[in-house]
Amino acid sequence: MECGLSPIVGFRFSLYPMADDFVSVIKGALEKTDTSNVWMHTDDVSTVIRGKQIHVFNVAKAIALHAAKTGKHIALSGTFSAGCPGDTAGDVYLNRSEEIANTDATTQYVSSQFALYPMNNPEYMEIIYREVNRAKEQGVFNESMHYASGIHGDIHEVFAFYEKAFSNARSEEHKHLVMTVSMSINSPTHGGL
Amino acid sequence: MECGLSPIVGFRFSLYPMADDFVSVIKGALEKTDTSNVWMHTDDVSTVIRGKQIHVFNVAKAIALHAAKTGKHIALSGTFSAGCPGDTAGDVYLNRSEEIANTDATTQYVSSQFALYPMNNPEYMEIIYREVNRAKEQGVFNESMHYASGIHGDIHEVFAFYEKAFSNARSEEHKHLVMTVSMSINSPTHGGL
C-alpha cells in the first residue's frame, strides 16, 4: 500500500486526426515527442501514459502540438487520473528528474472542454466552481455548458491551466481525482482567438 | 429543486471520422439519425444531447451506427451524465414516450473502453467492480487496463451493456453519475470478433 499522495499520474487519451492519412499523423506525432519520461502503452482504442505529473502533462501537450503542426484538423480526448484506490504501483517511471523533455514553445490555438471529478469528496462541487472561476481570472475561459466548461487559448496556457487545476483539485484527504479533457485544433469552425 | 432521481440524462460527445471528408460523415450521421426525442446542441468541440435515458442511448448508438456505415474509421468519445447538483432542469425533452425512434439493427463490431464515476459515493469502487464483472458475464468484456475497462462486440450488445451499467450505478441516495465511453469502429487495427 502506498501512503500519502501517490506521485503517479496517468492520462488515457486518443489522438484523432480528421484525415485519410490519420495513421501517419498519429505515428509522426508520437515519434517527434520525447516520451522517455513516461511509461506508455497503446491499444486499439487509446494510449495511456503514466509517470510524474509534470511529465504526463508535458508529453500530452507535445503530442497535440506535433499533430497540430501537420495543419490537419485534429482532436485529443482523454482522461487524467490519479489516486485511484484500484491503481497499481507499476507501469510508471518515477525515477525521472523534474526536467521536462519537450520544450517546443510554438503557439497554437486550442478550443477545449474539461470536467473535474474529485471522487468520494462531499465538497466536490465547490472544487469544480473554484477551478472554473480560476479559468475566468486567467483569461482561458470560453463558455459555460452542460457537463463541461469551455477552455481556450494558446496551447501552452491551456495546458498550464489544466495542470494547475489537476494539482488544485487533489488533496491528501481526497486522493482520487479524474479530469476529462477534449480538445479541438485546426477546426474549420474555429474563429480563433 | 427536483426531488427524487431526475429523469434527465445527458451525453456530451464528439464523433471523429478519420477521413478528409469528416464534415460530410458527421453531417450525414446526424441527418440520418432521428433526434426528435432529445434536445441537442453542437459547438466547436462537441455535441450534447439530453432527454430520457432510453432516448439518449438510442440516439448515441444510431449516430455511431450511421457513421460506421460509411466504412470510414470513426471514433465516438463522450461522457454520459445524470444527477449533477449543478444541472438545470431545462434543455430536455421529457414529454416524449418511451418508444425509441431509431431501430436499425445492422450489426457492427465496436471496440470500446469505459469508466464509471459514481460521485460522492464511498462505495463507488464496489459499483465499478460489479459492472465490470457483469461485462465478463455478458461476454462483452475485452481486457483490463489502467483507468478504464475494454468492452467490445456488436454495437447493439455494447450499447445495451452501457445503458444497463448506467442504470445500475445510480441510486436514489447517490444521484450523480458520470460514465465516460470511447469507442473505435472500422479501425485498421481491429481483428474483429
Domains and CATH numbers, chain A: 9-84+106-185 (3.30.70.930)
B116 has binding-site annotation = no
Q: How confident is the model at residue B4 (pLDDT cuts 50, 70, 90)?
A: low
- In terms of phi and psi (left: phi > 0; alpha: psi -120 to 50; beta: otherwise), the region of A70 is alpha
How close is the nearest chain A Cα to the Cα of B111, in Å? 7
Q: Tell me what ipTM this predicted complex has.
A: 0.95
Q: Tell me the per-residue pLDDT of A161-174, one tens digit each, with 9 for 90 and over.
A: 999 999 999 998 99
Specify the 3-state DSSP secondary structure of B11.
strand
Q: Share the mean pLDDT of chain B.
A: 94
Q: Mean of the pLDDT values across residues A12-21?
A: 98
Please report the pLDDT score of residue B88 as a whole number: 80
How close is the nearest chain B Cα to the Cα of A186, in Å? 11
Q: Mean of the pLDDT values across residues B114-130?
A: 96
Give the alpha-carbon dihedral of B15, B19, B24, B25, to 10 degrees.
Answer: -40
| A123, three cell numbers | 465538497
Q: Tell me the per-residue pLDDT of B96-111, one tens digit each, with 9 for 90 and over.
A: 999 999 999 999 999 9
Residue B185 CA to its chain's centroid (Å): 14
- The nearest alpha carbon in chain B to A8 belongs to B146
Please report the pLDDT score of residue A160 as a whole number: 98
More confident position, B72 or B91: B72
Strands B39-42, B9-17: parallel, antiparallel or unpaired by DSSP?
unpaired
Question: Distance between CA B142 and CA B146 in Å, rounded?
Answer: 13
Q: Mean of the pLDDT values across residues A53-71?
A: 98
Q: How confident is the model at residue A153 (pLDDT cuts 50, 70, 90)?
A: very high
For residue A48, the number of C-alpha atoms closer than 13 Å in the C-beta half-sphere is: 22
CB proximity A153 to B under 8 Å? no
Q: What is the pTM of this model?
A: 0.95
Q: Tell me the per-residue pLDDT of B124-156, one tens digit each, with 9 for 90 and over.
A: 999 999 999 999 999 999 999 999 999 999 999
Specify the 3-state DSSP secondary structure of A147.
coil
How close is the nearest chain B Cα to the Cα of A167, in Å? 18
DSSP per-residue codes, B38-67? SEEEE-SS-EEEEE-HHHHHHHHHHHHHHH
Q: How confident is the model at residue A1 (pLDDT cuts 50, 70, 90)?
A: very low
Instruction: Quickly tell me which residue has 525521472 as its cell.
Output: A96
Question: Distance between CA A188 and CA B4 in Å, rounded?
Answer: 43
Cβ-based contacts of B19 with chain A (< 8 Å): 18-20, 22
Please report the pLDDT score of residue A86 as a whole number: 82
Q: How confident is the model at residue B91 (pLDDT cuts 50, 70, 90)?
A: confident
AA letter at B135: A
Q: Mean of the pLDDT values across residues A12-25?
A: 98
Please report the pLDDT score of residue B189 as a whole number: 83
Q: Tell me the per-residue pLDDT of A80-101, one tens digit each, with 9 for 90 and over.
A: 999 988 888 788 888 899 999 9
Instruction: Give the whole-number percent of chain B exceeding pLDDT 70.
Output: 96
Of A19, A84, A113, the CB nearest to B45: A113
Question: Distance between CA B42 and CA B29 in Å, rounded?
Answer: 14
Instruction: Name the residue among A159, A152, A13 with its Cα closest to residue A77.
Output: A13
- Is residue B163 packed enough to be buried (19+ CB in 10 Å), middle (13-18) or exposed (0-12)? buried
Specify the 3-state DSSP secondary structure of B81.
strand
Least confident among A85-89, A143-147, B6-10, B142-146: A85-89
Q: How confident is the model at residue A4 (pLDDT cuts 50, 70, 90)?
A: low
Instruction: Name the residue among B73, B45, B166 with its Cα closest to residue A45.
Output: B73
Question: Distance between CA A81 and CA B74 in Å, rounded?
Answer: 25
- The nearest alpha carbon in chain B to A188 belongs to B44
First to last CA, chain A: 46
Q: Tell me the per-residue pLDDT of B44-90, one tens digit each, with 9 for 90 and over.
A: 999 999 999 999 999 999 999 999 999 999 999 999 999 988 888 78
Question: Distance between CA A142 and CA A135 in Å, rounded?
Answer: 9
More confident position, A87 or B163: B163
Q: Mean of the pLDDT values across residues A121-139?
A: 97
Residues 6+ apart with CB under 8 A from B40: B47, B48, B49, B50, B59
Please report the pLDDT score of residue A193 as a whole number: 43
Q: How far is CA A74 from CA A27, A62, B3, B60, in A?
A: 13, 13, 42, 22
Please report the pLDDT score of residue A45 as a whole number: 97
Q: How confident is the model at residue A177 (pLDDT cuts 50, 70, 90)?
A: very high
- Cβ–Cβ < 8 Å for B11, B84: no
First to last CA, chain B: 47
Q: Are A180 and B121 in contact (CB < 8 Å)?
A: no
